[in-house]
Structure 1
Amino acid sequence: MSNAGHNGDEILAMLCPYENTRWMYFVSRPRCEKRLYEGLREQGIPAYLPLFVKTTEYSHRVYKRQVPMFPGYVFASTRSQGFDIQRINSALLKVKFLPEPLADILLNELRLVRKFEILAQDHKLAVKPEIVKDTPVLIRRGAFKGDYAIVEKRKNTETIIVNIQSVQMSLHIELPVDWCEVAGN
């Protein structure tokens, strides 16, 4: 996916209505978003996979990689019989066809997402900014999956330190913020 800059942005220009199609979303198998996106593009289908750069540190080394802004989702403008499902089946879980008013709303929201994606290229993107100190969270990944915790501190835009009290003592652990969601959501 090339990012041609805000004024002549190819992706933003592609996010428009197409005749006899609607914008909808495809749900991919885990970690198959890019393969699904490429499969749709190879069929000539206008598709969009919003990405952002995620920085992680392992063994005193910093790694940067592009990851989906919405894990598990790829957006495309097509119709129910407008794609060869066999070519994308290995990466696809389901397709959500939207009625016209919702497809129009989705398209407008995708344009905003793209502008945000462009902005994130030069500015730090905060993942889940609603998760702040004292927020109760449900851990969705890792060894503590399914446990509830309280956010003690937001270390940076991508990492939080939580306090897990479900055991007989208090544990403070550092987690990627995208492994958690606000409890009750």
Structure 2
Amino acid sequence: MALTVSSSDLKWYPVYTHPRAEKKAYAALTEKGVEAYLPLNRKLKQWSDRKKWVEEPLLKSYIFVRIAHHEQAAVLMTKGIARFIYFSGKVAAMPDRQINDLKLLLTSSLELEVTEEDLQPGEKITIKAGPLKGITGEIIAYRSQKQLLLRLNNLGCSIIVNVAASLINRL
């Protein structure tokens, strides 16, 4: 990208990719010099003849790009990118904190579950110990267990993580 921008002008934006094109779109973005983040989750896949660990996108058809507002057209012209995500008629921007929390979640050894259910907000909490220390979220009743819900605004989905009640503080 030709124009120089300060880091304060850069924001994280979620972009929607074509189905099953997340890795190729990510590679094309990074080849263009765009700062992009594709959250990958490691899963054990079972085939008829073998088992294999594979990295799959945590959020199907989503990539996050950190760009200045005027760079949106260049992102849209990237192979595999379908569109930006809109919220209230504007391109949705995400706080750095949410991307950092997502990266922290993926570095932990916890098993993650992504759901598109419309989960109702509950009591706000923060995790006080363990690999997720410092992450804030909401407590929900889901499958009759206490779990942390890290709501990612403007994405239309939520990430649910099992966390022991002894590791959380009420806000």
State TM-score, norm by structure 2: 0.53
2:41 aligned with 1:55: no
Q: Which has the larger radius of gyration?
A: 1
* Structure 1: gaps of 5 or more residues: 1-16, 132-185
Q: Secondary structure at the match of 1:37?
A: helix
Q: After the TM superposition, which residues 13-92 of structure 1 pair with which residues of structure 2 at under 5 Å, given as runs?
A: 18-82=7-71, 84-85=74-75, 88=78, 90-92=79-81
Take 2:29 and 2:65, find their aligned partners in 1: how far apart are those partners? Answer: 8
**Aligned-pair CA distance for 1:18:** 2.2
Q: Secondary structure at the match of 2:84?
A: strand
Take 1:69 and 1:42, find their aligned partners in 2: how far apart are those partners? Answer: 22
Q: Secondary structure at the match of 2:7?
A: coil
* Structure 2: gaps of 5 or more residues: 1-5, 118-171
Q: After the TM superposition, which residues 89-168 of structure 1 pair with which residues of structure 2 at under 5 Å, given as runs?
A: 90-96=79-85, 103-105=93-95, 107-119=96-108, 123-128=109-114
Q: Is the helix fraction higher in 1 or 2?
A: 1
117 and 86 in structure 1: CA distance in 2 versus 1, 3 angstrom threshold: closer
8 Å Cα contact 2:17-2:82 kept in structure 1: yes
Take 2:53 and 2:76, find their aligned partners in 1: how far apart are those partners? Answer: 33
Percent sequence identity is: 20
8 Å Cα contact 1:35-1:91 kept in structure 2: yes
Deviations 1:82-113 (A, max 9, x none): 1535751x30110136799x6353x2111111
State TM-score, norm by structure 1: 0.50
Q: How many residues align?
A: 109
Take 1:85 and 1:49, find their aligned partners in 2: how far apart are those partners? Answer: 14
8 Å Cα contact 2:16-2:62 kept in structure 1: yes
Q: Secondary structure at the match of 2:105?
A: helix
Q: Is the strand fraction higher in 1 or 2?
A: 2
Q: What's the Cα RMSD here?
A: 3.1
